[in-house]
Amino acid sequence: MRGKLHFDAVVIGAGTAGLVAGARLAEGGARVCVLAKGVGSTHLAPGTIDVLGYSPERVERPGRAVTQLAADDPEHPYALLGTEVVEDALHWFSARIAAGLLPGYRYVGDLERNHLLPTAVGVLRPSALVPETMAAGDGTSSEPLVVVGTSALRDFHASLCAANLGQIGLEARAVVLELTLDRADQNSLGLARRFDDPSWRGQFADQLAPLLGSDGRGRVGLPAVLGIADPHTVWTELQDRLGRPVFEIPTLPPSVPGMRMFEILRATLRSARGRLVIGAEVVGSERQQARVNAVISRAAGRDVVYSADWFVLAGGGFASGAIELDSRWRTRERIFGLPLRGLPEPGQPRFVGEYFAEQPIARVGVAVDGELRAEGLENVLVAGAALPGAIPWRELSGEGIALASGYRAAGAILAAAGVRERITA
């Protein structure tokens, strides 16, 4: 049995690219529906907006480096987007976070300078726009660091983190807190929920304070679990009680800062009357020549046809299954069967032996024109990791590309005359 629904725009994917595109479209007055088979990388990645961390050397000024990369590599997504769009998208995002679901919570940073944030294994990671709760960890400061682990979160090793930070010249030491919980261990989300409880975090601070020493020196690094519902209050309260700057260090998944970002963007979409359906895998489309009229999603054994004037494909890349390499070594975009770009030539290797080397297949994505329009389809725009030409994990550019391209795709649809007339009618 099939139901049928009509929208101005349907967005496929609820990662950063899809949520941003959906929220901006809804704010612009479009009737929009975001369809996703599940959540995206938000729940796995650190929750920072890394615009460009390496190009190929470590980047200090991301704005300048994006401009240079766009000039040097016309196939890179940033060459299509341009630095100005990246900057506008960052402003849009920061404003939505600051005005969003979580009171007081905000992101800090811009394209002028990358923060250098400690990871859980004690290396520094360049990132342009970061949650306020992480900023005090910046490795460019010489203030000593105290990395705090807990017996409850077994995947976060404070001593490893502090030792490795020491190796790169930072003054860092580890403290481990024995926590008595009703469960032997917790994941990051479980612990974040505890921090949302004022009396629990009060006890945590009381237990931690004496271990920090009385000299008042040192900023305190905790795993990124400082609340999921009200992180701003948790963070400010801990700083007040400990009398020192406090910062979060991203953990293994699930990523609490990424989940906060997801919830804020989802609420932004919904408050602008956009719709989000999670658990709705798009399995096919209805087309007339170069136009897609509808996509078909399958949820709970039922097919629903979503017709729209515009579609944004923000289904991610290989990691989310939107682009597939099958057992016969065929690569395809799974929903529309769109042409791909960046594929190694026949006979050339797709992978190389060294794990961290540049893998030839890594740059594959859907072929688009300068407006992010999928080759061969006039009303399908592509955003995020589905775009070709980048190596996000190596460049540390995935979140910047997802944000800026989702933002740009929505802007292009809103600017299209036909849609604007219908929206304002």
Ligand X SMILES: Cc1cc2nc3c(=O)[nH]c(=O)nc-3n(C[C@H](O)[C@H](O)[C@H](O)COP(=O)(O)OP(=O)(O)OC[C@H]3O[C@@H](n4cnc5c(N)ncnc54)[C@H](O)[C@@H]3O)c2cc1C
Give the binding site for ligand X (CB under 6 A). 12-18, 35-41, 44-46, 50, 281-282, 314-316, 319-322, 334-335, 384-385, 392, 396-399, 402
Give the pair of three-digit tokens for residue 338.
């769109």
Helix (H) or strand (E) holding 117, with range, is strand 115-118
- Of the pair 237, 333, the CB lying nearest ligand X is at 333
Question: Six-digit token pair at 413?
Answer: 């649809």
Q: Closest CB to ligand X among 212 and 403?
A: 403
| Least spacing, CB of residue 160 vs ligand X, in Å | 19
By DSSP bridging, strand 302-313 and strand 323-325 are unpaired
CB of 172 to ligand X, least distance (A): 21
CB of 181 to ligand X, least distance (A): 26
Residue 256 main-chain phi, psi, to 5 deg? -65, -45
Q: Alpha-carbon dihedral of residues 86, 341, 41, 3, nearest 10 degrees?
A: 100
Is the Cβ of residue 208 or residue 374 nearer to ligand X in the bound state?
Answer: 374
Q: Closest Cα to residue 341, out of 72, 79, 19, 86?
A: 79
Minimum distance between the CB of residue 182 and ligand X, rounded to whole angstroms?
29
Q: Considering the complex, state which of residue 158 and residue 323 has its C-beta at the smaller distance from ligand X.
A: 323
Residues contacting residue 289 through CB under 8 Å, at least 6 positions apart = none
Residue closer to ligand X, measured from CB, 7 or 204: 7
How would DSSP label each residue in 220-260?
A: EEEES-S-SS-HHHHHHHHHHHHTS-EEEE--SSS-HHHHH
Nearer to ligand X, 231 or 384 (CB): 384
| β-bridge partners, 249 | 223
Give whichever of 134 and 396 is closer to ligand X, judged by the CB atom: 396
Q: Which is nearer to ligand X, 216 or 301 (CB)?
A: 301
Taking the complex as a whole, the smallest distance from the CB of residue 224 to ligand X amounts, in Å, to: 12
What is the residue whose two structure tokens read 């032997």?
Answer: 184
Contact (Cβ atoms closer than 8 angstroms) between residue 1 and residue 388: no
Cα distance between residue 225 and residue 319, in whole Å? 25
CB of 79 to ligand X, least distance (A): 17
CB of 159 to ligand X, least distance (A): 23
Least Å distance between CB 250 and ligand X?
A: 8
Spatial separation of the C-alpha atoms in residues 95 and 99, rounded to whole Å? 6
